Amino acid sequence: MDHFVVSARKYRPVTFDSVVGQSHITTTLKNAIRTNHLAQAFLFCGPRGVGKTTCARILAKTINCQNLGDDVEACGECESCVSFQNNASFNIHELDAASNNSVEDIRNLIDQVRYPPQTGKYKIYIIDEVHMLSQAAFNAFLKTLEEPPAYAIFILATTEKHKILPTILSRCQIFDFNRIQSKDIAHHLADIAQKEGINAEHEALELIGQKADGGLRDALSMFDLNVTFSTNNHLTYAAVLENLHILDYDYYFKITDALTAGSIARSLILFDEILRKGFDGHLFVIGLLEHFRNLLVCKDPATVTLLQVSESAERKYLEQSLMAELSFLLSALSITGQCDINYKSAKNQRLHVEICLMKLANLPQVLQLHSLAAVDETAKKKVEPQQPLNSPAAPSQATTVPLPAVPAHGQSNGSAYANAPAQPAAVPQQAAPQQAAHPQPAPQHAATSRLKSTVSLTQSLTPPAQQPAKQGNAEPQADYAAVPNGAKKEELTLANLQRFWYEFSQKRLQAGNSTTEQITLNREIQLNGATIEIALDNDHQQDAVMNMRYELLGFLKARLDSPKLDINPRVAPQEVNRLPYTPAEKFNFLAEKNPYLLELKQALGLDVDF
């Protein structure tokens, strides 16, 4: 049986050009070698498994090669290259700082630096995980790093650049390694699969690339694992999904379809299916977040490049992003993000995710309502100038309000207002055809009724039967504040006030006002300085007074010589004389009047029949 060499080692790149996804670094290094401007200390930073050590080794091999080609790649045939390839070169020293981080280890290394190379031009010292070096070891190393012998080159590698001391950073040429794109990984894996005679589905390799999250070494390990599991050297998407225990992204598409259609039931059933397949709820939430994020980046052609998925998946994302509205995605990200944050602390984690799904499924309706409400607002603004009754505008202006506006009030329960929000709302409907069918009728109705409620309270209380009368007599409303010709303002006394108050209430009555309004106008009023005091039974009545306040004061001020006249409606419920109702109450009422009743009851052992 052949000795099995893992792909990560077997296919470790041996030339700069074969390094995957780090061309910005290999090009720079090659140029430096070509122009002989090689630094003596490098710092390679980047996530694990992206080729830092590989690049360091290629650099060491290349600069020692005796027949360096024009393309600045090692020949792979000379003595030096061969010894490198056999791991037998004395010109390369690797120190794993994770396990050798003491001052002694660094001193040993510095001792070796003193001896020039026996063959070749350079000695290369690779210190991996350099951030693990102790403080003392760093200090011992500084001097050598600053003034190394001409033949020595240091390559420091780390996954955590921020842990490196500034004194070290300033002495090194820094190279930042990229996370390798999943497309590049899949491409590399496809090459290897071909060399190994493995028939691999491209989707399967893409999946491995995504799961590896930018690390080529991890991707190669996964590839080996899946090849081991596979039958007949055939790597299928389904098998990789199962081996790597990855949730098929199709689930996210299906669940998003259910959510945008507002189907709570379908989304919950899909989630149950996912759980029954043994997937963790939290991973699902995180995956869903990423899915929404992917849909969001598809919304703008400029950000589509941020989508790191296979071509077939990209097509699906683009399709679904057309169906999902931006506002839905933003809200969905927010809701799902909260679910993710609180997942660990939730007692019932399954329910926690389910609640999140229910909220998400409800989103399309909520958003539709919101957009209608916005239309509602603008419609209301358009309506407001037509409401001289409630407007604080000067009385003289009120007289100039064009009459056709008034019938509009009369129609407020009819079609005119109902149509107002419906027409602008048609625009978002067209933009979101998938939502048109579902939550349409209800919100429209809600918006209409809401709009009606914005029409002043007093009017909405008017019985429908009075509407035509109101329309007919609408004209006098406009000149409420008009002063009778030639009339002089009278002194502010309670008597005069009561007179004009009564006049006002009669005009309102003719105009067909509401019962509540009429009740408040029939209340007793007091005069306190320039303030009219009126005591009311409840908030409802107070609202009615506040609604006609400006109009009322305008009317009174036009007749009374009191520019500072004001009204103070306050709720002061009167003591209600409650009549006895229940048998017990009746008995107590009677007993209060005639105490002998109590005695009689006790003497005869009677009881009140409840």
What residue ranges bind Zn ion (CB under 5 A)?
65, 74-75, 78, 81
CB of 83 to Zn ion, least distance (A): 10
Backbone angles phi, psi at 155, to 5 degrees: -120, 110
Decide whether 119 or 453 has the Cβ nearer to Zn ion. 119
For the sheet with 525-528, list strands across it.
525-528, 531-536, 566-571
Backbone angles phi, psi at 127, to 5 degrees: -110, 110
Amino acid found at 292: F
Q: Is 190 exposed, middle or buried (0-12, 13-18, 19+ CB in 10 A)?
A: middle
**Bridge partners, 570 (sequence order):** 535
Decide whether 75 or 482 has the Cβ nearer to Zn ion. 75
CB of 313 to Zn ion, least distance (A): 43
Angstrom CA distances, 422 to 362, 415, 419, 550, stand at 22, 10, 5, 32
**Bridge partners, 42 (sequence order):** 155, 173
Decide whether 122 or 555 has the Cβ nearer to Zn ion. 122
Decide whether 75 or 333 has the Cβ nearer to Zn ion. 75
Decide whether 60 or 418 has the Cβ nearer to Zn ion. 60
- Ramachandran region of residue 120, left (φ > 0), alpha (ψ -120 to 50) or beta? left
Q: Is 217 exposed, middle or buried (0-12, 13-18, 19+ CB in 10 A)?
A: buried
The C-alpha atoms of residue 582 and residue 320 are separated, in whole angstroms, by 66
Is 256 within 8 Å of 336 (Cβ atoms)? no
CB of 74 to Zn ion, least distance (A): 5
CB of 61 to Zn ion, least distance (A): 7
Is 48 within 8 Å of 220 (Cβ atoms)? no
The C-alpha atoms of residue 216 and residue 23 are separated, in whole angstroms, by 15
CB of 41 to Zn ion, least distance (A): 24
The C-alpha atoms of residue 524 and residue 508 are separated, in whole angstroms, by 17
The C-alpha atoms of residue 194 and residue 205 are separated, in whole angstroms, by 12
CB of 192 to Zn ion, least distance (A): 25
Decide whether 14 or 259 has the Cβ nearer to Zn ion. 14
User: Residue 605 has what DSSP assignment?
Assistant: T
User: Residue 244 has what DSSP assignment?
Assistant: T
Decide whether 81 or 313 has the Cβ nearer to Zn ion. 81
Handedness of CA 90, 96, 100, 101 (dihedral sign): positive
CB of 13 to Zn ion, least distance (A): 16
The C-alpha atoms of residue 372 and residue 395 are separated, in whole angstroms, by 34
Decide whether 81 or 353 has the Cβ nearer to Zn ion. 81
Decide whether 72 or 81 has the Cβ nearer to Zn ion. 81
Is 379 within 8 Å of 286 (Cβ atoms)? no
The half-sphere exposure of 406 on its side-chain side, counting CA atoms within 13 A, is 22
Decide whether 65 or 560 has the Cβ nearer to Zn ion. 65
Decide whether 65 or 212 has the Cβ nearer to Zn ion. 65
CB of 175 to Zn ion, least distance (A): 23
CB of 75 to Zn ion, least distance (A): 4
Token digits of residue 244: 């790597």
CB of 7 to Zn ion, least distance (A): 25
CB of 353 to Zn ion, least distance (A): 58
Is 510 within 8 Å of 476 (Cβ atoms)? yes
